[in-house]
Amino acid sequence: MFTILVTGQVRDREVFLRLMNAINETRDQYSSLVYSTWSDELLRLPVVLDGANLPDGIEIVDAGSPFFAPTIMNRDVSSFIAQHRQLRAGLEVIDPKSYVIRLRADYDCHSVESFRRMLLLIKSVWKKPAYAERTIVCGADDVAPYFFEDRILLLAPRHAQRLSNLTLDDTYRSDYFNLFPEFQFYSCIAGGQNSSFFVHDHRYRLRAGCGQAFSEYDYQSFGGEYFDEVLKYLSNVVNELVFLSDAASGIGKRGDYDDLVFSGNIPRNFRIGDMREYYRVWLERSDKYAQEMPSGVVVVPDIVDQKRAFNGMYMQYFSGNTSLLAGTPVTGGVFSAPSAEFVGVSKLLVGGGESALNNLLELYSLGARGFELCFYLLRSLAQDAREAEFEEVASGALGAFKHVERMSEHVEHQRVVLKRAQKAKKRNAAQRLPSVGAE
């Protein structure tokens, strides 16, 4: 039994109608069809269709209203809650014994023939006993665990049921920065919600300016157990998931897979496309961890509570409550330095002047490399025409965030501001000089 579940808003009418036509023309390849979306989307659906017909037998599910969206500034969180609601509403009406091919409403199938080939490949994989109980993934990112492609969800029945039972209550144990769709969906599918990887913010080091290096937070979370945790995670993944490329090779249909990737029917937005490479990346990372871990590191028992307290400070800052944060005491423990950055930047933004700027420079000299600290230091130093200090901070910022386009653009823009400030400073100095023969 196979069900196609379409979720989401219609962002491109032609793409949506092309998908609906392909689904209708391949009616012999699935048992049921469900479309789950918001109430307001259903109200405007006749306008979108403009005389076109939906496939015969489609079951339309009203997922309610996304009233929460304007109140959530973090797009990852908003996206997860929206997708979770539409997905769960759709899964609730699907037979629990059915395999589910979940497509977003903006999925471009390109042609009926390529869509049919994709369905046949996926069904062929699930018909093999070795893959019958596994959810199929098309690609993976390596910045965090459970970060698999979610533009298409190819769910085995038992995993569809796990997602159907996923409530927002289940997410509260997770770190705030793990509230993005891929992480929450696949940690649920893989049954990893009670693992240490589920509560850890694996992307913290990127925001902290550590680059590919591990942070003190990582070391104090795992101590010398990181390798064992990686092995547990990989074992969990290989028991629950299979890469479509590997499965296609296993059933002698790798050529079909390659053709479908080339045509764009199978999304490959993430670099990693097979289990061998996924294993290699994680084992290499665990080796790097062991090589770089300082001696004498021990796990801090309250590290999760410390991180949650720091997350609260982070959310205060990005909610615009800088006046409140400027008077907040700096937290202790492993997050003392990054919390000092948020407090220091807040003091600068509420008019702390030279004192606040010098405080940030001192934090920078002690090794602080947070994005907000670098961002506002560069802006203030450029405005004050302090070129030597500006270039020192620019070098550190570009090193810490070399893959972040926003930082490189900011540095270049502030260099223009710096040059203008220098010229203005020279003009003002010239105007203050006494004119010749003034006496």
Does domain 2-288 correspond to CATH entry 3.30.70?
Answer: no
Task: In whole angstroms, give the CA distance from residue 55 to residue 5.
Answer: 13
Q: Residues in the chain with pLDDT < 70?
A: 67-73, 434-439
Q: Indicate left, alpha or beta for 118 from its phi (over 0: left) and psi (-120 to 50: alpha).
A: alpha
pLDDT of residue 170: 82
Could you state, in order of their start, the residue ranges of all structural domains in the chain? 2-288, 303-430
Query: Nearest-CA neighbor of 174 among 63, 80, 240?
Result: 80
Are 171 and 187 in contact by the 8 Å Cβ rule? The answer is no
The burial class, CB within 10 Å (0-12 / 13-18 / 19+), for 393 is: buried
Domain pair 2-288 / 303-430, same fold: no
Task: In whole angstroms, give the CA distance from residue 347 to residue 356.
Answer: 6
pLDDT of residue 267: 87
b (16+ CB within 10 A) / e for 244-266: bbbbbeebebeebbebbbebebb
pLDDT in tens, 188-215: 999 888 888 999 999 999 888 887 889 9
Task: In whole angstroms, give the CA distance from residue 404 to residue 93.
Answer: 42
Query: Nearest-CA neighbor of 140 among 1, 260, 244?
Result: 244
Q: What is the pTM of this model?
A: 0.86
> CATH top-level class for 303-430?
mainly alpha
pLDDT of residue 437: 52
pLDDT of residue 25: 95
Are 135 and 159 in contact by the 8 Å Cβ rule? The answer is yes
Coil, helix or strand for 370?
A: coil
